[in-house]
Amino acid sequence: MVEILTAEEFEMMKASGKILQEVFKTLEKSIKPGMSTYDVDKIVHDIITGHGAVPSFLNYGNPPFPGSICASVNEEVVHGIPSHKRILKDGDIISVDVGAILNGYHSDACRTYLVGDVKQEVKDLVERTKQSFFEGLKYAKAGMRTGDIGHAVQEYCEGFGYGVVRELTGHGIGTSLHQDPEVLNYGKAGHGYKLKAGMAICIEPMITLGKRYIEQLSDGWTIVTRDGLPAAHYENTILITEDGPVMTTFEEDV
Ligand code: MG
C-alpha cells in the first residue's frame, strides 16, 4: 500500500523527523573511541523517549530487535545489535540507523560516523555514500520514478568501483515504518513506481568498499559484507511535495 498524506500529516512527519535531527546533532559530538555501541543506543533512546516518542526499531520484527538503534560497525552493513561488549576503536566507522514514532508518524534515518582517525579510503566511502543519497534526492519529485533514484545512486557509486547492496532497499514511510514503494539503490531510469505529491519515502544507499555481496550473522539480524570490507549507510525521510522534496530528518547545521 502506498500512503498519500495530507498537509496536516506532513506537519506530523516533520515533528517526528525533528527528533532525529537532534539525535544526529548529539551523536556528531558524542561518538568517540572507547564507547560501546550500547552507550550510543542509550543516548538515542533517551532523546527519543524524552520527546514522548517511541523508538521504531525497539522490539521490531522477529526475533524482536533489542535496541533503539541499529549500530553497524565497519564490515557490518546494517542491523547491528547494540552491545556493552562492542567497544568503538580509533579508526572504526559506525552506522547509526534510527527510527522514531511521534503521534503515530514514523521517521527513519541513518548516518555513518567516523571514530577517531579513519583511513582516507574509508573516509571517502562514507562521504561518497552520503553524496549518493543527494544524487538520488534530485529525482525525489512528483512524476519521477523510483528507478530514476536508484539509477542515480548506482551510477554515482559504481563510478568509484564501490558495491551497491541490492538485497536491502529504501521504502515508503508514514503511519508505518516500512511500506510501498520499494526504493532500490540500483535500477533503470524511467522505470519503477511513479512518485506522487503526498508520499513520504526513505532513500538509503548501503555502499561497500569491496564487492556488494552480504550475509547475515547467526544473531538473526546483523548483515555484514561477505568480503569483510567496510560499508557505509546514509538515509533521510523525505516528503514528496508539489514544490519538490523536503527532508524531515536532515540536520542543517552539522
Ligand atoms: Mg529505512
Q: Where are the domains of the chain?
A: 7-247
Q: What is the pLDDT of residues 206-244, one digit of tens each?
A: 999 999 999 999 999 999 999 999 999 999 999 999 999
CA of 115 to the centre of ligand 1 (A): 23
Which of 2.40.110.20, 1.10.10.970, 3.90.230.10, 3.40.50.720 would CATH assign to domain 7-247? 3.90.230.10
CA of 167 to the centre of ligand 1 (A): 13
CA of 170 to the centre of ligand 1 (A): 6
Residue/partner pairs of 31-36 with CB below 8 Å, 24 or more apart: 31/88, 31/94, 31/113, 31/115, 32/88, 32/115, 32/116, 33/88, 33/89, 33/90, 33/92, 33/115, 33/116, 34/87, 34/88, 35/87, 35/88, 36/82, 36/83, 36/84, 36/85, 36/86, 36/87, 36/88
CA of 68 to the centre of ligand 1 (A): 14
Q: What is the pTM of this model?
A: 0.97
CA of 224 to the centre of ligand 1 (A): 17
Share of the chain above pLDDT 70, in %: 99
CA of 235 to the centre of ligand 1 (A): 7
**For position 1, what pLDDT does the model report?**
87
CA of 97 to the centre of ligand 1 (A): 8
